[in-house]
Homo-oligomer: A and B are copies of this chain.
Amino acid sequence: MPDAEIIAVGSELLTPQRLDTNSLYLTDQLNALGVEVVRKTVVGDERERLTDSILGAAARSQIVVLTGGLGPTEDDLTRDAIATALGRTLVFQQDICDLIEARIRAFGRKMAAINRRQAYVIEGAEVLPNHRGTAPGQWISNNGVVFMLLPGPPGEMKPMFEGQCLPRLEKILPAQVIRTRWLRTVGMGESDLDQLISPIYTRYKNLATTILAVSGEIHIHLRARCTSAQEAETLVARASAEIEPLLGDRVYSCNGDSLEKVIGDLLRARNASLSVAESATSGLLGGRITAVPSASDYFRGGFITYSDQMKIQLLGVAAELIAEHSAVSEPVAKAMAEGARERTGSDYALSITGYAGPDGEKVGLVFLGLASPDGSEVRRVQWPADRERVRAFSTNIALDMLRRRLLGIQ
Contacts and interface: CB of A to CB of B under 8 A. Distances in A.
Interface stretch (A45-53, A367-375, A400-408): A45-53
Contact of A72 (B12, B191, B278, B289): B191
B12 A153 contact: no
B16 A112 contact: no
A16 B278 CA distance: 34
B49 A39 contact: yes
Interface string A274-294: 001011011111110111010
A254 interface: no
Interface stretch (A82-90, A227-235, A304-312): A304-312
A293 B40 contact: no
A176 interface: no
Nearest to A56: B56
B290 A306 contact: yes
Task: Summarize A's interface: helix, strand, loop or mixed.
Answer: mixed
Nearest to A278: B283
A142 interface: no
Contact of A276 (B28, B36, B113, B304): B304
Contacts of A53: 39
A386 interface: yes
A289 B221 CA distance: 35
Contacts of A140: none
Interface in A174-207: 189-192, 194-195, 198, 202
Q: How many copies does the complex hold?
A: 2
B198 A357 contact: no
A42 B108 CA distance: 42
A44 interface: yes
Given A15-B27, A113-B195, A74 B307 contact: no
B71 A114 contact: no
Contact of A210 (B11, B42, B113, B285): B11
A72 B310 contact: no
A284 B287 contact: yes
Interface in A1-39: 11-17, 19-21, 23-25, 27-28, 31, 36-39
Nearest to A223: B15
Interface stretch (A164-172, A261-269, A377-385): A377-385
B191 A115 contact: yes
B132 A385 contact: yes
A73 interface: yes
Contacts of A161: none
Contacts of A210: 11-12, 15-17
A211 interface: yes
Contacts of A113: 195
B27 A155 contact: no
Given A284-B287, A293-B358, A17 B24 contact: yes
Interface stretch (A119-127, A242-250, A295-303, A317-325): A295-303
Contact of A11 (B208, B290, B343, B357): B208
A106 interface: yes
A280 to B, nearest CB: 8
A329 to B, nearest CB: 17
Given A73-B190, A303-B314, 20 more contacts: A14-B37, A15-B27, A38-B49, A39-B44, A74-B202, A107-B383, A114-B191, A155-B388, A282-B283, A282-B289, A283-B284, A286-B304, A291-B388, A296-B306, A299-B306, A300-B306, A300-B310, A301-B306, A301-B307, A303-B303
14 contacts: A19-B19, A19-B21, A39-B41, A73-B191, A107-B384, A134-B191, A282-B287, A283-B284, A283-B290, A293-B359, A300-B306, A300-B307, A301-B310, A310-B344
Q: Which 4 A-B pairs have the closest CB atoms?
A: A283-B283, A283-B286, A16-B28, A282-B290
